[in-house]
């Protein structure tokens, strides 16, 4: 049985389908993850004052972004027809 190599560029680590570098694809997920981690640590560090405000803000932003993205995805018609 002969194993043939994959086509040129099939498993490209440098760019995605649109030619964007992988850093551009992962920029927002990494930023939202870092913001969530900061919010969790600030909630652990303090229960009053500035820490409480920082934790609420930094944990609310990823939640709001997720809800907005889900609503946009559900409102856009699917390629197969109907809502996704």
DSSP string spanning the chain?
-PPPPPPTTTT-SSB-TTS-BHHHHHHHHHHHHHHHHHHHHHHHH-SSHHHHHHHHHHHHHHHHHHHHHHHHHHHSBPTTSSB-
Give Dmax (Cα) for the chain: 68
pLDDT of residue 75: 86
pLDDT of residue 77: 72
pLDDT of residue 55: 94
Ordered per-residue pLDDT tens for the chain, 84 residues? 666 665 665 554 555 566 667 777 889 999 999 999 999 999 998 888 899 999 999 999 999 999 999 998 888 776 776 655
pLDDT of residue 18: 64
Cβ atoms of 39 and 54 closer than 8 Å: yes
pLDDT of residue 68: 94
Report the 10 Å Cβ neighbour count for 58. 19
């Amino acid at each position: 049985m002969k194993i043939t190599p994959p086509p040129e560029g099939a498993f490209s680590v440098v760019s995605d389908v649109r030619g964007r570098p992988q850093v551009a694809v992962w920029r927002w997920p990494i930023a939202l993850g870092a913001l969530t981690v900061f919010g969790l640590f600030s909630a652990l560090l303090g229960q009053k004052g500035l820490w409480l405000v920082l934790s609420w803000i930094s944990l609310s932003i990823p939640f709001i972004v997720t809800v907005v993205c889900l609503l946009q995805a559900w409102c856009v018609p699917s390629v197969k027809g109907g809502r996704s």
